[in-house]
Structure 1
Amino acid sequence: MSTSRYDQPSTAGPLAGQHAAVLSIDVTPVADELRPTPGPIAILPTPNALFVDAVTAGGGVVAAISAETRAIVWLTSVNADDLAVHLQANPQVQWVQLPWAGVDAFAELLKIQDRPHLLWTSAKGAYAQPVAEHALMLILALMRRIPERVRATSWAPSTGESFYSRSVVIIGAGGIAVELLRLFEPFGVTTTVVRRSTAPLAGAARTVATESLDEVLPGADVVIVAAAMTGDTRHLIGAKQLALMKPSAFLINIARGGLVDTDALTEALASGQIAGAGIDVSDPEPLPDGHPLWSEPNIIITPHSADTPEMTAPLLAARLQQNVEAFLGSGGFVGVVDPQAGY
């Protein structure tokens, strides 16, 4: 979920195997007529030893991009135009692996390059555990008034609330939501999941469609934004939604900054409309020095660090190996992207 790059030398480090992917849907093989043709795999912009090893472990062959290339592993989200150039010059490529769970940085390219024999996969679900852990940390820190205490220079009367038996709304039903529901089990919270459909999500007390978001916000003690960023979800949380939340409620955003209207959030915090917020993402991002949010006493801002490169590199390597095996055999690709939907 970050914009840091994997095209520099690195290793998985001592934390390899610390986390595992969390998927919200079962993996099914792609249709035979849509299966990519196996062949050499190019790792771009620059091969990285960890991911070269992952391709090799999956049975694949890494080679410089050429007329023989059948797949591209793209390791950065800051040079989507360069990827477009490679795809334009190499129409024989039939599979592209993207590095992040969210693919909003590639939204236009996905639509332009949407063709029957080009399969896109992302890291969706791969980073769910570290991101969900970060969200839980933000919740507990805010409810226990840690922002106030880390700024304090003297003893004060005790303050704080417990997360036990609270009401939570999670916006989004992907791997992060699945992992959050697992982490919340010991706390006995009641969770409502907001998603595109009303299909139940195991572990949630209730599942509602996005159109019902405004109906469930007034009862929430904590609202967690964990949805995909698309044209339809920009500013999903705006002034209206913040006004519907309880003055004692907390907002957590560990998805994309654009899902929340920054100006509306700033005003809601300044006026006491909500009790606090924890954000790992912002709009704009990075959040500029001097922005009013930095001065709010009831917010925790982390620099898109819910899933650090040290955490995500081994997870992406595992996803890559799995998808290379699918590329060469089973067809059971994980994280298949719908180019038109943008996730």
Structure 2
Amino acid sequence: HFDTTRANIEFSGAVAEDFLTEVGKHPEERADFKGNMDVEKLEKFINEKGVENIPLCMITVTNNSGGGQPVSMNNIREVKEVCKKYNIPLFLDACRFAENAFFIKLREKGYENKSVLEIAQEIFSYADGATMSAKKDALVNIGGFLALNDDELAMQCRNLLIVTEGFPTYGGLAGRDLEAVAQGLEEVVDEHYLEYRIKSVEYLGNKLVDAGVPIIEPPGGHAIYIDAKRFLPNIAPDKYPGQAIVCELYLEGGVRSVEIGSVMFGKYDDKGKLIPAMMELVRLAIPRRVYTQSHIDYLIEIIIEVYKNRKKLEGYEITYEAPVLRHFTAKFKPLG
């Protein structure tokens, strides 16, 4: 689950559980589909907690909190089989479905001669529903949608939508934005665009690896993720090494990035002690159809400069945090 998905789940009173495949937990290890779900752990969890306590299962394509890593078609199929066995609806967090489909075309046997559109259609065929932030693979700056194949559930959602967002035909959006979403969904499956997109991110990742900067490997679809644990091994998770890098990148070169670690996913135990996130990362998400190679080269220079001076960096402490999604509005001060 990514941050906003998790927050909405937990705000409703449920608990979001993650079953990332083991290789996905190790930034330095290379594998084709590090976004896969651990199917064995999923089924074990269902048996332990009881089907009646699990309203749905969700796969995120690609895995945003784990490096933009793709999920294989075989894994989606296996998860669907488990969900079908226990009569649990399978949903997709489909923000980057086209990038995921392109990785399947490149890396999964049997799909090399299929179009990205055909692969995407197969991905969605296994789902009972999907959530989509259109700001990603619909190539627009606002909007999103909820897709369902349950008419009764869809009607319940429409009724709630009228109260909270607007009528189902527009959902609080202007008509021009809806038209842009429709256009973007067609353009995003263009393989020339996707090749340019994936190779741009790969170029950035490979240059950083060559310079010794620790990142999640292999490079993901939409972003490069710096491994803050290896970048700043001297700064403990409760001093937020990822946030230290985020601040320094901005001070050094005006580069805006985001911490995906214990600021975003950390929790407190009963005694108020931080329970760190599984990984401490800094995400450098690349805007679509905006940057040229010279922009990326500038970014590389800034990151390498910060890395060279990493021993001068100090941790941060939180001076203000909201009870939900604290990373959006948290305030910090440097230590030392």
Tell me which interval the TM-score lies in, with the shorter structure as reference length: under 0.3
Greater per-residue helix proportion: 2
Higher relative contact order, chain-length normalized (CA < 8 Å, sep 6+)? 1
TM-score, with structure 1 as normaliser: 0.26
TM-score, with structure 2 as normaliser: 0.26
